[in-house]
């Protein structure tokens, strides 16, 4: 029996991170391609300091995920697989980075993280320590950042946006000169 396409969102495989490519395609290094988190949305926290994930981002977090402070400062919202990838990256680069105690950095990455599981409406509490460290009060800018979602104070998100946009425009000019991807 032939399967019919559907317009409903598909739930992700647990621990697969953002929805995997429907055809199971793999990238250049053999890793499973995933749908990146995209878009920027202005949102507010409710009276219980909960945030509601935009509907398009919810399927990746039906089993929950992890929150951690990230460069910006912002709060990174990661799937379990995304957080594991972050820790694996740290374990690969820290031993040769010249730090006196690389393991302390790994412990700190774990200690800063906080588990969450959204309710049926996509809401979850944003831990006060993370919210305060990122300067988030009542309003929040939700940013799709590829492998993660970032939660920003609207007053600090985008301060460097004109520079980044100009840099991207420079590279966009050369994009059409690239050879087409092999099918």
Tens digit of pLDDT for each residue in 114-146? 999 999 999 999 999 999 999 999 999 999 999
What is the rounded average pLDDT of the residues 55-60? 92
**CATH topology assigned to domain 40-173:** Chemotaxis protein chec (3.40.1550)
- Segment holding 66, helix H or strand E: strand 65-70
- Sequence-distant (≥ 6) Cβ neighbours of residue 151 within 8 angstroms: 51, 74, 75, 76, 77, 126, 134, 136, 140, 141, 142, 143
What is the rounded average pLDDT of the residues 153-173? 80
Name the pLDDT band for 173 (thresholds 50, 70, 90): confident
CA dist 62 and 53 (Å) reads 11
What is the rounded average pLDDT of the residues 5-25? 36
Task: State whether residue 26 is helix, strand or coil.
Answer: strand
The pLDDT assigned to 152 comes to 95
What are residue 116's phi and psi, to 5 degrees? -145, 160
Whether pLDDT at 22 is above 70: no
- Mean predicted lDDT score pLDDT of the chain: 80
Name the pLDDT band for 181 (thresholds 50, 70, 90): low
The pLDDT assigned to 72 comes to 84
pLDDT digits (tens, 9 = 90+) for 64-106: 999 999 998 999 999 999 999 999 999 999 989 888 898 999 9
Domain boundaries, the chain: 40-173
Q: Which two tokens stand for residue 87?
A: 């820790």
């Amino acid at each position: 029996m032939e399967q019919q396409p559907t317009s409903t969102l598909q739930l992700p495989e647990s621990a697969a991170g953002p929805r995997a490519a429907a055809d199971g395609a793999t990238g250049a290094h053999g890793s499973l391609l995933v749908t990146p988190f995209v878009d920027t949305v202005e949102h507010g926290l409710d009276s219980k300091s909960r945030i509601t994930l935009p509907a398009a981002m919810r399927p990746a977090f039906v089993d929950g995920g992890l929150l951690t402070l990230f460069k910006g400062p912002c709060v990174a919202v990661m799937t379990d697989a995304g957080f594991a990838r972050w820790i694996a990256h740290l374990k690969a680069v820290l031993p040769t980075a010249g730090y006196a105690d690389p393991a302390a950095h790994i412990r700190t990455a774990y200690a800063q993280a906080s588990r969450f599981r959204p309710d049926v409406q996509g809401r979850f509490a944003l831990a006060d320590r993370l919210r305060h460290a990122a300067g988030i009060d009542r309003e929040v800018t939700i940013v799709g950042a590829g492998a993660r979602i970032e939660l920003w104070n609207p007053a600090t998100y985008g301060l460097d946006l004109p520079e980044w946009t100009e840099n991207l425009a420079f590279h966009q000019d050369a994009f059409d000169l690239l050879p087409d991807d092999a099918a």
